[in-house]
Structure 1
């Protein structure tokens, strides 16, 4: 059996940034987009990683993303702002909005920043980690195109609208919650359909509103919200904050990046930043967080459980492992990136690394 092909994360990031630059994107924009993609892969969120390179490029080519747009603050007060992304890359828009939120939070203790005119902005953890570096608490949400029905409905109306929270700690790893509001990622259903496998009952419904274990029927229908009505309510509230309040699209007016080639996505986001130092000294907060985390991890464990984890801890360990051993990409993604590289005179094999058998064994 041949060893898996992996890619050095820094070289893979450089490859992606060079691809976007070769496509005419400014270097500072290309660097942010590539960073967002690689950080997702490092944390094990492959659905938001370099697999998105091709669709991002296609949307540039079809004038569905404006990589030259200047993100603007349209309306603001001392602690609030409305950012217009002007259809720039979502990760660039999100980064700008985060900078505004952190600046205002440092000045006023907290800040609320809404965003309209954006695109898919990657993982929420990408922004949570940046806020943690600034010793801030961050809550960030985004809406998305239709994939889930309202409870009692049978067709998609709201997105799997994600919610992320980041909280710094001291010696312990920070608390990072990053989740969609669906029971399961739609990408898992796509994989099951490709393999001809069934899916667990409760993941999705078919287009007639019937529970199904058929992955193909599920893709024609809808994924279901986590916790039934509770997940639906949370997703709807995110849509209100990120879409209705900001002037961005909401519900059926958030356009699908893979299907709509006539209009921009007009995705909305919402950032809430809190300056911890305006409440208690930062070192005291970190000590209290460490105590809290340690006491949780020391709780009695259920049978066959070796360790209790806090949100974000497993992803942090994946980052360490992948930075050491490389990012493994599916063959289909590798082939796609190879073709993209050839188009722009770039060679993805320059980022390739190979582990010997001993290294693979020692690193699990």
Structure 2
């Protein structure tokens, strides 16, 4: 039998949520983690989507993540909070940090929430979208385990530490920047390795420091900073705020979720929320943002360029398509999910996308 590869996003989200519940995660937390994974897939960030389900579950099963942990506040004043995730699931810890940051910013105009004791928390865009819905500007930083060398080095020391910034607009799409500080997120190399595909030259080096297009060699080596020393500097800055400042791990002290089965990851995050109304009425700001975006999009285009996009716009278009036609998963990921479903007695095939997929295939043949 041919394994279906395209899935209805809502049904796939329900599948993931139910699997986590069966693994011992409470219903609300399971919903948050599943939503985080599916939102990544919908936006085309497959490296942070349901491909992560297996490793999250394995770390729960091996007691490397504690889904029953109480997330605690270690210090707090009017606009600054430090929370300890106590090794709960990263998306749950991040969501709690976001709620605190938005609440504090609404009261005081701006707020910072530092996080320690967390795990991989998904995409930054997951949190940005929620802040934008509340008419807030949000910056999210997170560190990660060693995958990238300092400029001039050949051995991984810092993570592909992501930077995410969300800013609402009016009639135009919001500004939604979510980027790794490496040329590419390591998760994309993992996906390429799973598919048996090569990666572009310039993404990574092998363990001896040589440029490589082999995804498996890249995983044994290092991904490279975006913009060379500039990306390295930004990644280091993120590690300082999310790791050194919060009391979380930093550099080699952020444990690898795929390799370290003795200790929690101790990932750190950093949330900065800004209430726009403290500067000007939100509707005025949105009109100014719309004007700004429209002026950028009217700029002269280089040869062969049909449209100038703002950060987040391409992903929005992918969301529209995948909501309609379904999320396509690599066969290896599908096989993993089937095995997980069998283990926890949850039927993946209920999430298969049929009619819309056939409709799209028909359109492609026209």
TM bucket, shorter chain:
over 0.9
* Other-structure match for 2:360: 359
Q: Tell me, what secondary structure is at the counterpart of 1:353?
A: coil
Q: Tell me, what secondary structure is at the counterpart of 2:67?
A: coil
In the alignment, structure 1 residue 286 sits paired with structure 2 residue 283: no
Normalising to structure 1: TM-score of the pair? 0.95
- CA deviation profile, 1:9-52 (whole Å, cap 9, x unmatched): 11111111111111121101111111111111111111111111
- Structure 1 residue 96 displacement after superposition: 0.4
- Structure 1 residue 101 displacement after superposition: 0.5
- Kindly tell me the number of residue pairs found equivalent between the two proteins: 363
In the alignment, structure 1 residue 73 sits paired with structure 2 residue 73: yes
- 1:356–1:276: structure 2 CA closer, same or farther, 3 Å change rule? closer
* Other-structure match for 1:186: 186
> What CA distance in whole angstroms lies between the structure 2 residues aligned with 1:88 and 1:197?
34
Q: Which 5+ residue runs of structure 2 have no aligned equivalent?
A: none
In the alignment, structure 1 residue 132 sits paired with structure 2 residue 93: no
- 1:37–1:198: structure 2 CA closer, same or farther, 3 Å change rule? closer
In the alignment, structure 1 residue 346 sits paired with structure 2 residue 346: yes
Where does 1:258-277 land on structure 2 (aligned, <5 Å)? Answer: 258-277=258-277
CA contact (8 A) 2:117 2:248 kept: yes
CA contact (8 A) 2:87 2:264 kept: yes
- 1:41–1:200: structure 2 CA closer, same or farther, 3 Å change rule? closer
Where does 1:278-317 land on structure 2 (aligned, <5 Å)? Answer: 278-317=278-317
- Structure 1 residue 357 displacement after superposition: 4.4
Q: Which 5+ residue runs of structure 1 have no aligned equivalent?
A: none
* Other-structure match for 1:234: 234
In the alignment, structure 1 residue 224 sits paired with structure 2 residue 237: no
> What CA distance in whole angstroms lies between the structure 1 residues aligned with 2:364 and 2:135?
32
Pick which of 57-66 and 349-358 moved more: 349-358
* Other-structure match for 1:325: 325
Say what the alpha-carbon RMSD is for the aligned residues. Answer: 1.8
> What CA distance in whole angstroms lies between the structure 2 residues aligned with 1:195 and 1:131?
35
* Other-structure match for 1:337: 337
> What CA distance in whole angstroms lies between the structure 2 residues aligned with 1:337 and 1:123?
20
> What CA distance in whole angstroms lies between the structure 1 residues aligned with 2:70 and 2:194?
40
> What CA distance in whole angstroms lies between the structure 2 residues aligned with 1:261 and 1:84?
21
> What CA distance in whole angstroms lies between the structure 2 residues aligned with 1:351 and 1:197?
27
Where does 1:60-139 land on structure 2 (aligned, <5 Å)? Answer: 60-139=60-139
- Structure 1 residue 302 displacement after superposition: 1.1
- 1:143–1:363: structure 2 CA closer, same or farther, 3 Å change rule? farther
- CA deviation profile, 1:41-71 (whole Å, cap 9, x unmatched): 1111111111111111111111100101111
Q: Tell me, what secondary structure is at the counterpart of 2:148?
A: coil
